[in-house]
Structure 1
Amino acid sequence: MSQSITTKELAKRVVNREQTLILDVRNTDEFDDWKIEGDSVEVINEPYFNLLDGIDPVAEKLNKDQEIIVVCAKGGSSKMVTEMMEEEGFTNVYDLEGGMKAWSEHLEPMKIADLNDGGSLYQFVRLGKGCLSYMVVSGNEAAVIDPNRMTDIYERFAEEKGVAIKHTVDTHLHADHISGGRLLAEKAGGTYHLPPKDAGDVTFDYAPLEEGHDVTIGNTTIKVQPLYSPGHTIGSTSLIIDDQYLLTGDILFVKSIGRPDLAGKAEDWVGDLRETLYSRYKELSDDLVVLPAHYSFVEELSDDGSVKARLGDLYQRNEGLQVDDEQAFRTMVTENLPPQPNEYENIRQTNMGNMNPEDEKQREMEIGPNRCAVHG
């Protein structure tokens, strides 16, 4: 009987920077596109079909007593490889339950702060996808911001905290993952908020997320201010919480800036992106803590596993904020766009309510890394 490890156990290791050796047995093209990453993670790729006749191709690269976690797409092939390795005398080998499919859906909650009026702010890190979502808890109420489609995770967390989810918010219409905002609001009997300029083609009712329309959770007021902040989408809207935390959506990240092309409008929206980053955000306090909706690099994780940075520090070190010449900025943005996310147009249509794929299809649509950033 082979040993296995859960995504939760693996996530704790990645966050705690524990030395971890992974044998990934997916095809090389899948591996090259997307893999488990971490500061102390070493990954070896050996496709499963190379191991059908025995584990010789990897045996010489590995010690029989070292701990090895075997990973595949869905958990079947890794279990077989794990059993083969055990038969060959490997004593400390585990397969990852559910494979990369399960890894893609794991959310690791992190407490960011206690708020001034007794509330709390939490960040949910989706390590396998680079998505970041948030929950504000205050009194007996909660708001969830940029939630992923795995809504049961937020429901369980709210239940543990003894609070009711009264609001869900999307800072913009997402194109790289399916939002859980509308579903979570329906299940909890709460209100779903979306920027109206991103909602032109939606098929459902929503509360407009607009400047001047603050959202109150328990004793905490979320200021939607200045902070119409277009550039990633035409409706992108930032949130200020407790006068201390700036939720930037996909406009500004710790090591990069948002891409303006996921609705086919790169040339049109790059000017908006510059205006938001170089003017609107500049007017804000340097001491605001930036909490983005995504991260792209393992190095963006803080020592505690969260993703955050002081706004003033980002103006010193984020290369996307260092380009004074407007034409040079336009060139940097439009020439450094990564491949567009898998099925991004179908994801946008799903988030607008124009498509309603089965759960399994939704999982497939999201497979792969997030690609929301410009990498100069």
Structure 2
Amino acid sequence: MSEQKNEPISATDLFNRLRSDPSLFILDVRNEEDYKSWRIEDIETPETLNIPYIDFIEVPEEVIPKVPKDRKVVALCGKGGASDYVADILRKEGYNAVNVTGGMKAWGLVYSRVTAWREGSLKVMQFNRVGKGCLSYIIVSGSEAAIVDPARHIDQYLSFLEDEGLELKYVFDTHLHADHISGAAALCKTTGAGYYLSADDMDGASAQYVALKDGQQFSIGSSSIKIVALSSPGHTPGSTCVLLDDRVLFTGDTLFISSMGRPDLGGQAAVWVKDLFRTISRLRKLPDKTLILPSHTRGGREYDRNGVVSGSLGEIRKSNPLMAIEDEEEFAGQILKNLPEEPSAYQKMRKANLGLLEADEEKMEQWELGKNRCAIEQAKEKI
């Protein structure tokens, strides 16, 4: 059969095609364990088949017929090498097949940007590191801006600020991050903005910051537009939600759309889970119309049709099963029995974010590889 001359695509190309081409078919050629741990998920995830690449070498006559010939096949692996080999085999068999350059490693570096909320000159931009499910935000009010939970790839924020003619006043980390390297310190060094987070998370830190306190208020763009810090310990002792104009709540890793933040990353789960219960009890008192913007997502069904991850508190009360538990012991029991395994790099990233451990780009990429594991694992199902 004639060989198809299909050029490889980038991970960003794949992301764009996922939302525009329903005919895509993803062929993931990693081993089954890696596939189940971390895979492509989006608003409408295309049909996906997992066949380890070794099978295309050892038993091609068995596995090639399993791949549909009437679809646009996108071959994917960890770094792009094995899937390139498989895509070539398929093209020689007459398939329309392309490889994703850089594989899942590159997928973990793809970002999207959408408007999460807007009213007049006040708006919130959501930046989504789609492969990891890490969310960060730029709050815009008039000619001023604040950033919440920035990732380490700060050029995207700087470009937006420059394009919009904005002055960055504040950078908030809602807590000491364990699943990725924060970009807050680098942003503040570049722009001169203030870096704020709770001192309760920064014991022994060498990083420079301003202690964020419960009830502390910040003006942005106008004296009438307020950002208020709400202490929300549980995921970490210093976890702090950020309330914008009494209407939009940035919940960090405290409350997600369908789960909550794990309380065990500091090795004190039995204590921190009680803090988390008290925090959730406090958040329950906010109005149902409060818009919740978390710092992580499971992807997939948590996206709306525009790719935004958000929900009103009223909606989350109904859809998040942990929100319905009002007994402290029952709450703690459900949380503690559903804690996922902690990735080995998390403690290294906590130290790096404290300014106590240095790493080059290659090492940071290695630490951050894979989706985030900061959520209670089974909360997406009805408990």
TM surpasses 0.5: yes
Structure 2 contact 291–311 (Cα < 8 Å) conserved = yes
* Distance apart, 1:13 and its partner CA: 4.0
* Distance apart, 1:120 and its partner CA: 1.9
Structure 1 contact 112–121 (Cα < 8 Å) conserved = yes
- 2-side partners of 1:177 and 1:11: how far apart? 21
Alignment: residue pair count: 372
Structure 2 contact 45–300 (Cα < 8 Å) conserved = no
- 1-side partners of 2:278 and 2:22: how far apart? 41
Question: Partner of 2:32 in structure 1?
Answer: 28
Secondary structure in 2 aligned to 1:120?
Answer: strand
User: Relative to structure 1, is the Cα distance of residues 242 and 19 closer, same or farther in structure 2, using a 3 angstrom cutoff?
Assistant: farther
Aligned letter for 2:247? Q
Question: Partner of 1:372 in structure 2?
Answer: 374
Q: 1:243 aligns with which of 231, 246, 267?
A: 246
Q: 1:82 aligns with which of 84, 87, 96?
A: 87
Q: Is residue 120 from structure 1 mapped to residue 123 from structure 2 by the alignment?
A: yes
Question: Partner of 1:183 in structure 2?
Answer: 186
Structure 1 contact 249–293 (Cα < 8 Å) conserved = yes
Structure 1 contact 55–85 (Cα < 8 Å) conserved = no
Structure 1 contact 175–341 (Cα < 8 Å) conserved = no
- 1-side partners of 2:22 and 2:125: how far apart? 23
Deviations 1:207-246 (A, max 9, x none): 2222233233333744224x11111100000011122111
Q: How does 1:139-178 map to 2 (within 5 A)?
A: 139-178=142-181
* Distance apart, 1:93 and its partner CA: 1.6
Q: 1:359 aligns with which of 343, 358, 361?
A: 361
| Deviation larger for 136-145 or 49-58 | 49-58
Structure 1, unaligned runs of 5 or more: none
Structure 1 contact 16–304 (Cα < 8 Å) conserved = no
User: Relative to structure 1, is the Cα distance of residues 293 and 166 closer, same or farther in structure 2, using a 3 angstrom cutoff?
Assistant: same
TM-score with structure 1 setting the length: 0.93
Question: Partner of 2:16 in structure 1?
Answer: 12
Deviations 1:260-303 (A, max 9, x none): 1111111011111011112x112212110000111125211112
Aligned letter for 1:211? D
Aligned letter for 2:270? E
Question: Partner of 1:320 in structure 2?
Answer: 322
Secondary structure in 2 aligned to 1:60?
Answer: helix
Structure 2, unaligned runs of 5 or more: none
Secondary structure in 2 aligned to 1:231?
Answer: coil
Deviations 1:111-139 (A, max 9, x none): 012234x1321111221111111111233
Structure 1 contact 110–305 (Cα < 8 Å) conserved = yes
Question: Partner of 2:217 in structure 1?
Answer: 214
User: Relative to structure 1, is the Cα distance of residues 165 and 76 closer, same or farther in structure 2, using a 3 angstrom cutoff?
Assistant: farther
Q: 1:343 aligns with which of 334, 342, 345?
A: 345
- 1-side partners of 2:181 and 2:16: how far apart? 25
User: Relative to structure 1, is the Cα distance of residues 4 and 160 closer, same or farther in structure 2, using a 3 angstrom cutoff?
Assistant: farther
User: Relative to structure 1, is the Cα distance of residues 94 and 211 closer, same or farther in structure 2, using a 3 angstrom cutoff?
Assistant: same
- 2-side partners of 1:79 and 1:165: how far apart? 43
Structure 1 contact 16–305 (Cα < 8 Å) conserved = no
Aligned letter for 1:353? G
Question: Partner of 1:293 in structure 2?
Answer: 295
Q: Is residue 93 from structure 1 mapped to residue 97 from structure 2 by the alignment?
A: yes
* Aligned CA-pair RMSD: 2.0
- 2-side partners of 1:311 and 1:104: how far apart? 29
Q: How does 1:230-309 map to 2 (within 5 A)?
A: 230-278=233-281, 280-309=282-311
TM-score with structure 2 setting the length: 0.91
User: Relative to structure 1, is the Cα distance of residues 240 and 369 closer, same or farther in structure 2, using a 3 angstrom cutoff?
Assistant: same
Question: Partner of 1:311 in structure 2?
Answer: 313
- 2-side partners of 1:134 and 1:264: how far apart? 29
Aligned letter for 1:236? S
* Distance apart, 1:15 and its partner CA: 4.8
User: Relative to structure 1, is the Cα distance of residues 301 and 19 closer, same or farther in structure 2, using a 3 angstrom cutoff?
Assistant: farther
Question: Partner of 2:232 in structure 1?
Answer: 229
Structure 1 contact 148–179 (Cα < 8 Å) conserved = yes
